[in-house]
Amino acid sequence: MAEPRDVWPPLPRTAWADTCATLHMWTQVVGKVRLALAPPSNHWWHVTLKPTPRGLTTGPMPFADGRSFEMSFDFVKHLLVIATSDGTGATLPLSPRSVAEFYADVMARLNDLGIRVRIWPMPVEVPSPIRFDLDREHHSYDPIWVERWWRVLSRTADVFEEFRGRFIGKSSPPHFFWGSFDLAVTRFSGRRAPDRPGADAITREAYSHEVISAGFWPGGGAVADAAFYAYAAPEPAGFQTARVQPPAAFYSRDLNEFILMYDAVRTAETPRVRLLEFLQSTYEAGASLGAWPRRELEREGQLA
């Protein structure tokens, strides 16, 4: 019997733009709790959310007297679940409500559990930000589109894990950046990168070493619809004109990244293979042009 075809669902941003904007703010609320409490990790990895079989999680965070807790988005049952190491917990339904209501409810439930945390209630990396406690503009939540987005994110995370396994140098796990609302995986050459004049502390550490990074985000700005991206930092000469796969991939001079629209992956006979082609070819272009020590970094049999 033939194996069932791997079907990746359509994800046009226009169909769920309001829900996407609201969910983005909700992940920022939870992400800022992690930012406030998690011990620092290199390249700000401690602030990201991690994929789970049902959604996204902060992972364990310390809060008092040796105790820890975790906050998890469950996009199957549409709940925010708070679980503590002493057996207590709370849930918050994910349903249409304003960011202000969500923020107030999250902070109240944490307080009820004895978890005292203060966060800066201003969103980041979005145009015209509205404080969480004042944001009644974003209030949409369509579970059907959230589940679709989650299925895409989950499949993407699996492919990113496979791609990551080809590399024996330093590499990030696939993790979700709530500021930019994207899932990313990053490889490092092991060499220091030139300083970025005028960069803030976050950017300086994020790009302190040479990286080639790839990710997925649901679109917005210069790229209107869902897309995969890949970039090298610092960008080596010739990267913009490098030939990468598949042919539908293109270099965006607005973003300084290679872009592969999600629909070009979704409609492929084997989406996983199409995405791996993009990840591998953009990495090889950046690593070869940047003179990375590839034989020291890649598993045997992975060198092109």
Residues 37 and 68 sit within 8 Å (Cβ to Cβ): no
Quick one: tokens of 210?
Answer: 């040479």
Residues 9 and 152 sit within 8 Å (Cβ to Cβ): yes
Q: Which amino acid is at 242?
A: A
Residue 178: Cβ within 10 Å count = 25
Strands of the chain, DSSP E: 50-51, 55-57, 61-64, 67-74, 79-84, 89-93, 175-177, 182-192, 209-217, 227-233, 250-252, 257-261
The confidence score (pLDDT) of residue 157 equals 98
**What mean pLDDT do residues 189-205 have?**
91
Query: Is 40 exposed, middle or buried, given 0-12, 13-18 or 19+ CB atoms closer than 10 A?
Result: exposed
The answer to whether residue 5 scores a pLDDT higher than 80 is no
d(CA 46, CA 21): 23
d(CA 192, CA 189): 8
Residue 286: Cβ within 10 Å count = 28
Q: How many alpha carbons lie under 13 Å from residue 205 in its C-beta half-sphere? A: 9
Rg (CA), the chain: 20
What DSSP element (H or E) covers 125? none
Quick one: tokens of 217?
Answer: 């985000």
**Of 299, 182, 281, the residue nearest 232 (C-alpha):** 281
Helix axes 99-112, 13-37, angle to 10 degrees: 30
pLDDT digits (tens, 9 = 90+) for 134-193: 999 999 999 999 999 999 999 999 999 999 999 999 999 999 999 999 999 999 999 999
Domain range annotation of the chain: 13-134, 143-297
Share of the chain above pLDDT 90, in %: 91
With cut-offs at 50, 70 and 90, classify the pLDDT of residue 222.
confident
The answer to whether residue 301 scores a pLDDT higher than 80 is no
**What mean pLDDT do residues 237-256 have?**
97
Phi and psi, residue 160, nearest 5°: -60, -40
d(CA 65, CA 84): 12
